[in-house]
Amino acid sequence: MFEELNSRPADSLLALIKAFQADERSRKIDLGVGVYRDAMGRTPVMRAVKAAEQFLLETQDSKKYLGPEGDLQFVRLLQPIIFGQSPASEQRLVGIQTPGGSGALRLGAELIQTAKPSAKVLLGTPSWPNHAPIFGSARLAVREYPFVDLTSQQVKFESMSEALSSANPGDVVLLHGCCHNPTGIDFTMEEWRRIAELLVAHRLVPFIDLAYQGLGDGLEQDAAPTRMILEAVDEALIAYSCDKNFGLYRERVGALYVMARNSNELGKAQSNMAALARVNWSMPPDHGAAIVRTILENAEMSAMWRAELDEMCERVNGNRASLADAAPDLAFIRRQRGLFSNLAMSKDIAAVLRARHGIYMADSGRMNLAGMQPADAGAIVAALRAEGC
Ligand code: PMP
């Protein structure tokens, strides 16, 4: 059976983790894999998460099955954080717990495949490397368009506008809700308004990927574009991840929300989401969602979580400022948001930065701003200069 398989390349970012660990130099900086790091270089368990785990340890009295929708109280309690308090948005949305944002994207892709297999998915590049494979593996056609010019660090709005204008009604537009991965380049509110107009004019369906809420400018501000788009359109999908903003990466916590035109269509979407979850993973892993639910049910834990998330956000933006201060031509890094910025650089230069300077970033030139300390800014800029970038 397996003779017919072709081997696939290993994930290059995971290889980078191993290479960094094996590097014996004391001066080395890990800007590679996309996880938050604190001032000690650790990816800690958040204080509110520890408190919730303690609470669950003492009070959870059963681990019996919950069903394919997972923990619906978790799904409901996230709703005001993502969508605000508007009762209208609540009535037009259904959600289901998923294994991380990846599970939400996968389930959303399968829902689209079930509802409208001819729908194309428009994807601006560069994007998170898993986007195209996830939609492709649900047998959807992915149409990529150039989204960003890395040399000028500007959005190619014209290219996006053309791609959306030439799409067919019912096609899907993948949008990063905030903290674009890998570029950190988010739209201005004015650009978001123009996108909303294009979506409405061409009857396109936004699929918003919200994986970093709270790590750009804070929870409310990071949700503003999503809320604005949902006000404008009839139908939408939202893939949400709690893995970054609750630091729950390996627990795999996320949700897929669907907004539909009426309760009849909403009900159909909901039953299909449950059926698709059933054949994929039967039901999602509970522990992470139980932690998030516990935090959101408890005012004290919620306040702890919000305060620590704000600290994380400030630290990343502080690192952005220190790099921008160290090199005027990197001023764009200060404006960008989220864990990542993407320098225009060849794979060879990325390899030289590792070998000569102990600075680890993805081959694409993507750097995780949480991986540095403000004091590293000078060394990073000197290495970039030495290699002519
Ligand atoms: N979307 C984007 C843009 C991401 O960067 C990631 C994670 N790197 C995901 C989705 C998936 O998140 P999760 O780890 O929760 O599956």
Read out DSSP for 130-174? THHHHHHHTT-EEEEEE-EETTTTEE-HHHHHHHHHTSPTT-EEE
- Ligand 1 atom closest to residue 242's alpha carbon, by position in its atom list: 15
List every span in the chain annotated with CATH 3.90.1150.10. 12-44+313-387
DSSP structural state of residue 251: G
338 lines ligand 1 (CB under 6 A): no
- How many residues belong to the chain? 389
**Quick check: is 268 catalytic?**
no
Inter-CA distances, 241 with 69, 277, 300, 333, Å: 16, 16, 22, 24
Inter-CA distances, 283 with 24, 51, 55, 65, 244, Å: 43, 25, 23, 8, 22
102 lines ligand 1 (CB under 6 A): yes
Q: Give the separation between CA 316 and CA 368, rounded to whole angstroms.
A: 9
Interface pTM, i.e. ipTM: 0.99
Looking from the CA of 354 toward its CB, the CA atoms found within 13 Å total 24
Among 244, 286, 305, 376, the active-site one is 244
Q: Give the separation between CA 282 and CA 358, rounded to whole angstroms.
A: 44
34 lines ligand 1 (CB under 6 A): yes
List every span in the chain annotated with CATH 3.40.640.10. 65-297
Q: 192 near 206, Cβ under 8 Å?
A: no
Q: What is the CATH number of domain 65-297?
A: 3.40.640.10
**Quick check: is 128 catalytic?**
yes
**Quick check: is 363 catalytic?**
no
Question: In 3-state terms, what secondary structure has residue 350?
Answer: helix
Amino acid letter, 330: L
63: which 2 tokens?
Answer: 């681990």
For atom 10 of ligand 1, the residue with the nearest CA is: 101
Q: Give the separation between CA 75 and CA 293, rounded to whole angstroms.
A: 8
CATH class of the 12-44+313-387 domain in this structure: alpha beta
What residues pair up with 290 in beta bridges, in sequence order?
none
Tens place of pLDDT for every residue, the chain, 389 residues?
999 999 998 888 888 989 999 999 999 999 998 999 999 999 999 999 999 999 999 999 999 999 999 999 999 999 999 999 876 677 899 999 999 999 999 999 999 999 999 999 999 999 999 999 999 999 999 999 999 999 999 999 999 999 999 999 999 999 999 999 999 999 999 999 999 999 999 999 999 999 999 999 999 999 999 999 999 999 999 999 999 999 999 999 999 999 999 999 999 999 999 999 999 999 999 999 999 999 999 999 999 999 999 999 999 999 999 999 999 999 999 999 999 999 999 999 999 999 999 999 999 999 999 999 999 999 999 999 999 88
- Ligand 1 atom closest to residue 179's alpha carbon, by position in its atom list: 3
Q: Kind and range of the H or E element at 120?
A: strand 120-125
DSSP structural state of residue 10: P
Q: 103 near 254, Cβ under 8 Å?
A: yes
Among 209, 243, 286, 363, the active-site one is 209
